[in-house]
Amino acid sequence: MDISVVVPLYDEVESLPELTVWISRVMDENHFTYEIILVDDGSKDGSWDMIKQLQTANPFIKGIKFRRNYGKSAALNTGFIASKGEVVITMDADLQDSPDEIPELYRRITEEKLDLISGWKAKRHDPLSKTIPTKLFNAATRRMSGIHNLHDFNCGLKAYRGTVVKNIEVYGEMHRYIPVIAKWAGFTKIDEQIVEHRPRKYGKTKFGLSRFINGFLDLLSIFFVGKFGKRPMHFFGSMGTLSFFTGLVMAIWIIWEKLYNIAHGLKYRDVTTSPLFYIALVAIILGSQLFLTGFVAELVSRSASERNHYQIEETI
């Protein structure tokens, strides 16, 4: 199969008929073999009934329905698991992503041998309350991830080589950072493509303040887990060792200073009356706790079921 189109959706009943007809027209015009996977994330507006109607008319449509709303990341991850295409395309169900972009995305994945292409909506039709946080997130993500050639990490329109989606896991609000997850999994051939951003035709945006906060926390999680997930002692142990020895040096200095003053008949004060002593004590205790945390995390990591799960590109 050439292409799997994965569409996560929540309360998008009005746009589904137009979207699926549009996708099917593009596929037929380009002679692609395809499937459209519609993942209903607990909609309450009759979206699932509409999906069943559409599937009856078009056998290339497949539907997955969640019992409740789990979020876009869960919908994408489930769609990835179900996909069978050589290339996987994701797009939002609100008609703001154009299916006419699919042929070029497919061509670039197959001919340029890219792992992932992220859409870049250079000209947006969103309010400032959405575009400003998006720009901040993209800037922070570029800096932390080292992926400097992407302008819009959170664009719903993306193309993946099939093996990419089978080797990554998306959860929480991680969908906005899929390029980062893919990079940490070893898929480094990442590029972008300028795509059309269409005004929303039906319904209303699901963007809110909670997504802004959760997105920032997930960015930190991706950075930490990706860098130290299999070697937590490198993080906690390093910080703990630094804190412990900083406190130890401070304590030795305080004691040496007192002994020096005593030996030379100079005025001195008790060690316990010095604020520096308590700072040193806190640093030593904190360092010990961090080191022990790293030790426990290392034990947990080594006993985890996926402790030896690594991304293997090819065997002969």
Task: Say what the pLDDT of residue 300 is.
Answer: 74
DSSP state of 300: H
Average pLDDT, the chain: 85
Q: Is 8 helix (H, G, I), strand (E, B) or coil?
A: strand
pLDDT at 109 over 90: yes
pLDDT tens digits, 250-262: 999 988 988 888 8
CATH number of 3-228: 3.90.550.10
As beta bridge partners, residue 37 has: 6, 62
Q: How far apart are CA 192 and CA 2, in angstroms?
A: 21
Six token digits for residue 38 = 């519609």
State how far the Cα of 82 lies from the Cα of 76, in Å rounded to an integer: 10
Q: Which one has a higher pLDDT value, 270 or 38?
A: 38
| Spatial strand order in the sheet of 34-40 | 61-65, 34-40, 3-9, 87-90, 158-161, 116-120, 190-194
Give per-residue pLDDT as tens, 17-49. Answer: 999 999 999 999 999 999 999 999 999 988 999
Work out the number of other CB atoms within 10 angstroms of the CB of residue 21: 14
Of 70-74, 158-162, 285-289, highest mean pLDDT? 158-162
